[in-house]
Structure 1
């Protein structure tokens, strides 16, 4: 089964000037028409990661210049739920997240398509418990409270952990909190566990004296990291999406080999900076992270498994047709016609 290929249509090409595109000065009669510069709107990357390096050294702009495009960094929050809304409203062109975080949006006729994935984070996500607690296994969570984000990665990880260890879903109380409030509740002991991934993990492991009672590897996570592009943008500028994917693949491969170079890109101090006692942990996570890849049929099967679990637990209104929102970047042209 082949993944979706977005077709270029005449209306889509005519609409390009109304969609993140800047036109050069008017050409004089008989002169060659100046190339259009396409603006690719991305969330501001903060202080760490592949896109932070891209912003600092201009490498992504140089890669996109070959297809007459450049980045426009926006102030849209990087949380995927916010980014998905910004894409749907036409304020953003590209965003990244996880499939668990994206399923809610995918089930509501979204204006975006997935064009790249990274294998699940087997080291940097899972269910945390305190080191000094009596909770030694997932089975010990029965009768306890665990903080999760509603309908997102945290809830997915907890459900996977419970299923793998034959613990009834109803035996554990899910406490729905955002990351900031979940961190406070976990530190104070208001909840016994915290299902979490991403930036909050390293501080929790170091400052909250916690450990994973079940990691991404331990729960056999299918929670792929995803890259989404506004569907209309992909139709109008497939060569830009192709170039962006190529950059992300190459840069994420380099980051896996030298993750320390992608931490504290702009500053070593302040609220966005990675603390010194967390750097070693994040370097280990980075070495275990997978580069961005095209979405294969095998990947699609695993994405569908996440969708099936969410449907079974009534976290979505029925099964989400994930394949209807996948784009095969290998089929995209490298140059505009």
Structure 2
């Protein structure tokens, strides 16, 4: 038995639909499959997913992804797109962009995110990156003092001014280090400054020490600063994370999974070939690195772990960082892991 297809039926059906709905004005339901949410659209009237990111700068997997348009290509496969935003001087400024919805996916660490999560439920942690433990890997942070400082240990900083990023990784590590050294935290003065402010204050002698992190750390060490203690010397639990706005996760978990998957792949590639992830857009200027500084960044990249999906066991890391901040009054309320970790691996997966 052969099957026949009447090619006039789509047109006839559309005409009938228009006639039946003419009195209501509800003609949107009479469009084609693409117009109603087929490929590249949003089914059932949902808004297509947009991953909104801050500018990634001139180095790292995200910068490489931007230059090569990798996210644009991969997100398009799930009906989503990426929107690149501005540059922010601090994590606090990035959080303000998240609050205003200019950014809806961000990278950071547990420590600075907790301050936001203590007062809001509109972002969730979707991935963690395990700490680098290989002793051959370069350090990425440290409590530094000027080269001529008489301080040789934390106990020598009693009564001194120490710059840290408020409620962030620097403050967490300093509190943990003081605790480990048996120095009461109120015996030093914590000065809350963002990285640029801290660099200036340290260079001009307005603070006696500084817990430098990320790119500020190798820069200040290259200028002669002496390190008293590193984060890797401590039993710290402040893992790097990726977080996303809750409404994005609820409506478009597949798009966020694509984002995390792309980063995981690129971090693995960076470990193999770190050179192509430095000076991605410019090889000259203030954002470019060369010589010994470039070598440090290449060495760091060879050991850096990429993101993995969050699992229930990661709640122990959130609890540990929260415990330090609560103990010393940085947080006024507890942040519970079950309230802030989002199971991206299972979200949107049909139940068998």
TM-score by length of 2: 0.81
Query: Which residue is equivalent to 1:136?
Result: 152
Q: In the superposition, relative to structure 1, how do residues 191 and 275 fare at CA in structure 2: closer, same or farther (>3 Å)?
A: farther
Mark the runs of 5 or more structure 1 residues left unpaired by the alignment. 1-25
1:112 aligns with 2:127: no
- Deviation at residue 285 of structure 1 after TM alignment: 2.1
Task: Determine the structure 2 residue equivalent to 1:279.
Answer: 294
Listed one character per residue, the Cα deviations across residues 217-272 of structure 1 (whole Å, up to 9, x for unaligned) are 11222121111111001111111111111111111222233333211110011222
How far apart are the structure 1 equivalents of 2:198 and 2:31?
Answer: 63
Answer yes or no: is 1:94 the counterpart of 2:109: no
Pick the aligned partner of 1:75 from 78, 86, 89.
Answer: 86
| RMSD of aligned alpha carbons | 2.2
Offset, 1:144:
2.2
Match of 1:159 among 175, 191, 199: 175
Counterparts of 1:173 and 1:52, CA distance in 2: 37
How many residues in Structure 1 have an aligned counterpart in Structure 2?
Answer: 309
Match of 1:40 in 2: 51
Q: Which region of structure 1 is more displaced relative to structure 2, 178-187 or 105-114?
A: 178-187
1:291 aligns with 2:291: no
The residue matched to 2:206 in structure 1 has which SS? coil
2:72 aligned partner: 61
Corresponding position: 1:52 with 2:63 = yes
Moved more, 154-163 or 314-323: 314-323
Determine if contact 1:79/1:97 at 8 Å carries over to the other structure: no
Q: What are the superposed Cα offsets for residues 286-309 of structure 1, whole Å, 9 maximum, x if unpaired?
A: 223221111233322012110111
Alignment partner, residue 249 of structure 1? 264
CA contact (8 A) 1:294 1:329 kept: yes
Could you tell which deviates more after superposition, 163-172 or 182-191? 182-191
Separation in 2 of the partners of 1:330 and 1:193?
42
Secondary structure of the equivalent of 2:49? strand
Q: CA deviation at 1:175?
A: 1.8
Out of 212, 215, 220, the residue aligned to residue 199 of structure 1 is 215
Q: Tell me, in whole angstroms, the C-alpha distance in 2 between the residues paired with 1:183 and 1:166.
A: 27
**Partner in structure 2 of residue 7 of structure 1:** none
Match of 2:24?
A: none
Distance 1:248 1:274 in 2: 22
Q: CA deviation at 1:32?
A: 4.8
Contact 1:80 1:95 in 2 (8 A): no
Aligned residue in 2 for 1:4: none
Judge conservation of contact 1:80–1:96 (CA < 8 Å) in 2.
Answer: no
Tell me the SS of whatever aligns to 1:330: coil
Mean Cα deviation higher: 58-67 or 137-146: 137-146
Aligned to 2:232: 217
Three-state SS of the structure 1 residue aligned to 2:233 is coil
Query: How far does residue 106 in structure 1 lie from its aligned partner after superposition?
Result: 0.6
Greater alpha carbon shift after TM alignment, 42-51 vs 72-81: 72-81
User: CA separation in 2, counterparts of 1:144 and 1:308?
Assistant: 25
Distance 1:131 1:300 in 2: 40
- Which of 191, 204, 211 is the aligned partner of 1:188? 204
Runs of at least 4 residues off by over 6 Å = none
Relative contact order: is structure 1 or structure 2 higher (C-alpha 8 Å, sep ≥ 6)? 1
Distance 1:167-1:330 versus aligned 2 partners, 3 A rule: same
Q: CA deviation at 1:28?
A: 7.7
Q: Could you tell me how far apart the structure 2 residues matched to 1:275 and 1:89 are?
A: 36
Report the secondary structure of 1:100's partner residue: helix
- Give the whole-Å Cα distance in 1 for the aligned partners of 2:274 and 2:166: 30
